[in-house]
Structure 1
C-alpha cells in the first residue's frame, strides 16, 4: 500500500473454509476495535466497490509491479464520516461535522460508571460523583456507531446521555421531527 502498488492476495472470507485469490488495489489500513482491516478494491470488479479485508484472514500477499488505482475523488475521511466501517451513525449526519468533537454528558449508576474513572473517554473527561449514587461523566468525543454500541452495553446502568440525539441512538429511537 505504501508503494501504491497492486497486490495479489490469498484471502479466506469469514464465511468460507477455502481461500480465494484476488488482485487488489490497496487504499488504506483501518483499525476498528482489535481488528485491523485493509480497505481495497478488487481488479475484477468493474464498479470498483470499496471492500474491507481483515488482515488476519490473508494467507499470502505478493506485491505486484502494477500501480494501484484509487477510485476517483475518494476521500477516506468522507468515506468514514458517511458511515462506512461503523464509524458514523445515521442520526448524527445532520450535526455539525457529523458529530465530531462533541461535548457529551453521560449519567451512570455508580457501579456502571466506575470503569470510566479508570479508563478515560477523552483527555478532557470530568467525573462527578452525585449525591444520588450516580456518576456524571463529561467529555468531548466523536459521536459514532461504535460509541452508541458501547453505551448500549451498559444497559440500565446508563441513566441518561446528552445531547439528546445520542441518547435516542442508544435507546434505538428514531429522531423526532418538527411535525411530531
Structure 2
C-alpha cells in the first residue's frame, strides 16, 4: 500500500527538529490580530471624522436633503461603523485567545515527547497504536518513534484517510 505523502515525509525525516510540515501559526495569527486592531482603530478614526464633518455641516446645510442625509448618517452609517469597530476588536481578542490555546497545546504535546506528560496522557495515548489490532507498540511510550509507528499502523488500517 502506498503511504500518504504526510506520513512518508514523517517517516523519512531524520532530524530531531520539529517536522517541517508542522508549523506554528502563532506568528501569522499575531500579525492578523494586530491587523484587526489597526483596522478597528482606522474605523474609529473614520467614525470620528464623519461625525465631526456631519456636525460642521449641520448648521450650514438645511432643507429636506440635509435632513435625509443627517438622518441616514446618524441612524445607519455611524452605528454601522461603531459595530464594525467593535467586531474588529472582538476578532482581535478571539485571535489572541486562539494563539494562547495553540501555544498551550504545543507545550502539552511537547511534554509527551520530553517525558513531562501530564497525568491524563496515559489514558489518552495508550501504548496500543491506533487501528485497534492489538499489536503492542515496540517503541518507548511517548517517543517520536512510538508516534510514527502508531501513525503508520493507523494509515495502513485506514487507507485513504489523511491523503
Q: Give the alignment's TM-score, normalised by structure 1.
A: 0.22
Larger radius of gyration: 2
Q: Give the alignment's TM-score, normalised by structure 2.
A: 0.24
- Larger fraction in strand: 1
Which structure ranks higher in relative contact order (CA pairs < 8 Å, sequence separation ≥ 6)? Answer: 2
